[in-house]
Amino acid sequence: MSRPAPKTSQILLSKRANVLYLEHARVMVKDGRVIYLTEFTGEIDRGFSIPDKNTAFLLLGKGTSITDGAVRMLAESSVIVGFCGSGGAPLIAGVDMAFMTPQSEYRPTEYMQAWMRLWLDEEKRLEAAKRFMRERLEFTVESWDKQGIMIPDEILREFESGIQSSPDTGHLLSTEGAWAKSLYGVLAKKYKLQDFRREDGKRSRDDVPAIINGFLDHGNYIAYGYAGVSLYTLGISYALPLLHGKTRRGALVFDVADLIKDAVVMPMAFEFGSKNTKDQKFRSMLIQRMQSVGATDRMIDTIKDTIEKSV
């Protein structure tokens, strides 16, 4: 029988500061704390505490293991766990899409019920997808302006027009693809990259475009983690997407992650990739940026606002 959940107050998932990615480590419980051990000088291990009450999600990369006791304590603190490849991408194992979610029976039900009603109505689902796109556009412009990156008015008008006129999700996906390609072009011009092409799964540091592609992959999977936390907090199934493939059980995670990927991940991947920054520093700075812009709060607020306006 599992022990009762601790009675101490917990930090809200949307306010938690820690996101952890581990490689070649053992996660376990010691002295009532969740820790991870890394090999140090041969046979000696050194341990570090995981602040589970202030951790949003944990990614376990290559060479990692976790005990049932650690999973239990992390679940009690509502920490989402995912197994992934090197660098944090791709996510390769989990009970629900890509993450092992804590099995809490006390999450809200009203958001899932409202989302289900929205999702079953094709017209409302399309309008909700457009609302997500508009929020994505607004946050990208806001974020890029603060970084001194100007998006040409022509690109903004084309995206806005495409959102407005799309009669179905197929056209909306085409509009999204053209928008993303245009943004890559703006950033490639800023960083003087002649032949940049987006290549998913590019695992190389041979040149600057390859490094940027790797950072885009890593950053996107960090964004998926925040999206997973947001949906888990609201009790909404990952399997009810607005835009991405309805045959993919976790597609709503991708929809929600898109709210912040263009605004945060994309410009940081180009900035740090152009400087040949180490992977660890990029992830650390990206997580700090996600925290500073309130990524989880923004996702949760957008989902709740979408539900309210669809009723």
Residue-wise pLDDT tens digits, 42-69: 555 678 889 888 888 888 888 888 898 8
pLDDT at 8: 46
CATH (domain of 242): 1.20.120.920
Domain-embedded: residue 1: no
Same domain flag for 116 and 78: no
Q: List the single range of 8-12, 54-58, 129-133, 230-234 with lowest mean pLDDT.
A: 8-12
Same domain flag for 136 and 73: no
> At which of 93, 123, 143 does a domain end?
93
Domain-embedded: residue 3: no
Average pLDDT over residues 137-145: 96
Domain-embedded: residue 203: yes
Return the SS3 of 55.
strand
Same domain flag for 21 and 77: yes
pLDDT at 204: 72
What is d(CA 210, CA 224) in angstroms, rounded to the nearest whole number?
Answer: 21
Q: Is the link from the previous residue into 90 a cis peptide, with omega within 30 of 0?
A: yes
Same domain flag for 58 and 138: no
Looking at residue 23, what DSSP letter applies? S
> At which of 63, 93, 123 does a domain end?
93
Same domain flag for 54 and 161: no
Cβ–Cβ under 8 Å, residues 191 and 274:
yes
State the maximum Cα–Cα separation within the chain, in Å, rounded to a whole number. 63
Same domain flag for 166 and 269: yes
CATH (domain of 50): 3.100.10.20
CB atoms under 10 Å from CB of 82, counted, come to 23
Same domain flag for 58 and 136: no
> In Å, how far are 206, 215, 259 from 80, measured between CA atoms?
34, 22, 20
Same domain flag for 64 and 114: no
Domain-embedded: residue 103: no
Tell me how many domains the chain contains: 2
Q: Is 294 left (phi over 0), alpha (psi -120 to 50) or beta?
A: left
Domain-embedded: residue 165: yes
What is d(CA 177, CA 100) in angstroms, rounded to the nearest whole number?
Answer: 30
The alpha carbons of the chain give a radius of gyration, in whole angstroms, of: 20
Average pLDDT over residues 75-87: 79
DSSP string, 121-161: -HHHHHHHHHHHHHHHHHHHHHHHHHTT-PPPHHHHHHHHH
This prediction's pTM? 0.79
Domain-embedded: residue 98: no
Domain-embedded: residue 29: yes
What residue numbers bound the domain in which 286 lies? 110-310
Give the pLDDT confidence of 188-236 residue by residue, as tens digits: 999 999 888 898 766 677 889 999 999 998 899 889 889 988 998 888 9
pLDDT at 83: 80
**Helices within the chain (DSSP H only):** 68-76, 110-120, 122-146, 153-165, 169-190, 208-234, 251-260, 266-273, 279-292, 295-310
pLDDT at 91: 52
pLDDT beyond 90 at 255:
yes
Strand order in the sheet with 91-93: 18-22, 55-60, 80-84, 91-93
Structure tokens at 128: 């909700």
Same domain flag for 59 and 156: no
Same domain flag for 80 and 117: no
Which helix (H) or strand (E) element contains residue 82? strand 80-84
Same domain flag for 118 and 55: no
Domain-embedded: residue 192: yes
Same domain flag for 84 and 117: no
140 vs 229, more confident = 140
> At which of 93, 123, 149 does a domain end?
93
